Amino acid sequence: MAIELTETAVAAAIDHAILKPDLTRADVDRELDVAAEWGVFSVCVRPSDVSYAVRRLAGTAVAVGTVIGFPHGTTSTAAKVAELRQAHEDGASEFDMVVHIGALLGGEDERVVSDIRTVVDAAGGLVTKVILETSFLDDEQIVRGSRLAEAGGATFVKTSTGFAGGGATAEHIALMRRSVSPAVQVKASGGVRGLEAAVAMLEAGATRLGTSASAIILGELRARAAGGPATGTEDAGSY
């Protein structure tokens, strides 16, 4: 698909991931500064960092999102709802929930949809993204998971947590895009660490990118526009 490859357009597709479990407050500060400097759409932070991120990003246009049931998806639905409500109270406006992966693999479609629907309802119309963890799934399961996410009312279906091996591929993004209606968007996450990978995901149908390599991606794009060497070479981490 045709995409706009300007720095502004690509930044507007990025959820800057700040999710590694060993991040200190100083590390979080540095990543929040990266998000603000490059003008990405949002940060996706650990639940315990939501209120802090909201305060620190006040006055910028960067939204704050968080993860629910992360990274395994096996907490109870009630726990996911409680986590979302706390995050919303703390100021998060987007929620990336992990599907119950075992239920999806086991063909418990009604259980999967019920889990998603209950969390979506608790979000009260705010953006919800359902993470399938595609590295565990075959193509049929990716198609079914994508359709179950739509049946549950999700705004997005998303590839990966970034913490289970593997990650987003253009082929999986294209498959997910074909599996849902235009009302549902697709988010690529896991392994999107440079401009080439970002462009491949966007061309395959992703409208949002989850990455900790925002400075690298946007630095490469800025350098390309200026005809100079790449910038923004911070450590991209594992996400």
**Active-site option among 49, 90, 96, 115:** 96
Q: Is residue 80 annotated as part of the catalytic site, yes or no?
A: no
Please return the burial class of 111, using the count of CB atoms within 10 Å of its CB with bins 0-12, 13-18 and 19+. middle
**Active-site option among 15, 90, 129, 158:** 158
Token pair for residue 110? 């009604």
Cα 115 to chain centroid distance, Å, stands at 19
Q: What is the dihedral angle through the alpha carbons of 88, 129, 34, 90, rounded to the nearest 10 degrees?
A: 10
**Active-site option among 49, 90, 115, 187:** 187
Q: Give the separation between CA 170 and CA 24, rounded to whole angstroms.
A: 33
Q: Where do we find the tokens 């629910």? A: 68
Active-site residues, by number, are: 96, 158, 187
